[in-house]
Structure 1
Amino acid sequence: MSKTAVITGAGSGLGQSTAVKLAEKGINIVVVDISEGGGQETVDLVKQAGADAFFVKADVSKVEEVKNYVGQAVEKYGTIDYFFNNAGISGSGKHFLETEMDEINQIVGINMLGALYGMHYVTDVMVKNGGGSIVNTSSSAGVIGQSTVVTYSATKHGIVGMTKSMVAEYAKDGLRVNAVAPGPTETPMVKKYFEDNPEMKESAEQGIPQKRLGTSDEVAELVTFLLTSDAQYINGEVIRIDGGFTNTK
């Protein structure tokens, strides 16, 4: 019987690349995104890779929309085996004291509350069905401090705490929860951030020992491994994938 994965933020970047890699393993994909165009593009790519998929439009900061994508996944496929809890935004890149409260609320709503809501409803399904595997998207800004991303960094540090605490509570029920902490990566979100803050791209590249940004496919390889591999004793880990960026801090 085919396995099923739910991926938030699946319309582009890390989510889309991971959807394709999981599809190549024959895993059904529930594509969740705020963008209909990006979501449908991912569905097409998944089907081209040989797996089934459908799209659910959702603003993950709204609890009813999270309940809806989880419910639709269970209705269509019966259960959820894998969850890539990935949707997020970076914010404008302004210094903290110049950041409007509306932006702070938006970042926290999507990155932190959206991740918690998804974790809550997906874990409920997984525990009732004997377990499952979850990967949360943190960031290099979730393991070190970085300028111009105070709110974003707060949410990504929160993802680390969520990951570890979920394991403390639910590993006994068959749940595995890990997190990835990508450094600057060539995704549409990061591209937009660097377009708005051009001086930051050169600074980022110079600060990475490998002297380049990561790629979505490289992160997707790690996510796929953590979700699906036979390494079932990896639990509660936060794995950095940043070309050595945070190793030098």
Structure 2
Amino acid sequence: MSMTFSGQVALVTGAAAGIGRATALAFAEHGLKVLVVDLDSAGGEGTAELIRQAGGEALFLPCDVTKDAQVQQMMTQAVDAYSRVDYAFNNAGIEIEKGRLAEGSEAEFDAIMGVNVKGVWLCMKYQLPLMMAQGGGAIVNTASVAGLGAAPKMSIYSASKHAVIGLTKSAAIEYAKKHIRVNAVCPAVIDTDMFRRAHEADPRKAEFAATMHPVGRIGKVEEIAAAVLYLCSDGAAFTTGHSLAVDGGVTAF
């Protein structure tokens, strides 16, 4: 079954690198116009330029997803540019926690919840009315396998991803009859620049991360992008409120 699309415009947050960049490129490869959204202007513009170099159409929109006014302005710019947003991948997120719950700080809590939860909520807050007005759409939010179970020494991050799944399921039910599907993708450990930076000082940790997955390796950004495109495509027309684990078998235990 090939993935087909009924719309023309995709929006990706956190698109400056990693999963976001890979997904933006994948949307463009399928012929969609792509709105590249990130706080990192250099990286975001770099993603848009890669799309243009490959013959696609892309526009970079700088945005801090934790700021209501900026998200609202970003969505206004998206409509001004392309009139509609058919698919939205709310992917912007951070992971800065490395200790047990009682060792965490208020600053860590606010930062993680601000981007991972408030950011997703704000994006959907402005995407959903637009999609209702245009007759439908599809949204995919980035959660994590940490949102499907426990994540020792990452309790705040885990809580934030559980919250993303809660937002996803609730929105899916609220807007199902408005022809808007809302799903989440739940990656395990993925080979991103962030992962490499975190393990460059101790390669043994990177090797251990691979052994955590029954398939014997960590995931690729392109594999998450493929899952996102599937959830947006007509092939998933009967799928909403679902949290899709793309995890090399981690959650099968």
Are 1:101 and 2:106 counterparts? yes
Q: Structure 2 CA distance, aligned partners of 1:100 and 1:231?
A: 40
Identity among equivalent positions (%) equals 39
Match of 1:74 in 2: 79
> Which structure 2 residues correspond to residues 1-249 of structure 1 after superposition, within 5 A?
3-195=8-200, 200-248=205-253
Q: Secondary structure of 1:79's partner?
A: coil
2:3 matched residue in structure 1:
none
Task: Find the aligned partners of 2:127 and 2:108 in 1 and give their Cα distance.
Answer: 27
- State whether residues 10 and 31 of structure 1, in contact with CA within 8 Å, keep that contact through their aligned partners in structure 2: yes
- Could you state the TM-score of these two structures normalised by the residue count of structure 1? 0.94
Native 8 Å contact 1:92 1:196 kept in 2: no
Moved over 4 A (4+): 195-200
User: 2:140 touches 2:182 (CA, 8 Å); kept in 1?
Assistant: yes
CA distance in 1, matches of 2:234, 2:50: 22
Equivalences, count: 248
SS of 1:230's partner is helix
Q: CA RMSD in A?
A: 1.6
> TM-score, normalised on structure 2?
0.93
Pairwise CA distance, 1:195: 4.4
1:108 & 1:161 partners in 2: Cα distance?
Answer: 14
TM-aligned CA distance change 1:208 to 1:70, over 3 Å: same
Q: Describe the SS at the equivalent of 2:59.
A: strand
Q: Deviations over 1:74-123 (max 9, x none)?
A: 01000110000100001132222222211110000000000000011011
**C-alpha separation between the residues in 1 aligned to 2:99 and 2:85?**
38
Q: Check whether the contact 2:147–2:161 (CA below 8 A) recurs between aligned residues.
A: yes
Q: In 2, are the aligned partners of 1:93 and 1:197 still within 8 Å (CA)? A: no
| Structure 2 contact 143–186 (Cα < 8 Å) conserved | yes
Matching residue's letter, 2:28: A
Residue segments in structure 2 that go unaligned for 5+ positions in a row? 1-5
The answer to whether the Cα contact below 8 Å between 1:20 and 1:49 also exists between their aligned partners in 2 is no
Report the 3-state secondary structure (helix = DSSP H, G, I; strand = E; otherwise coil) of the residue aligned with 2:114: helix
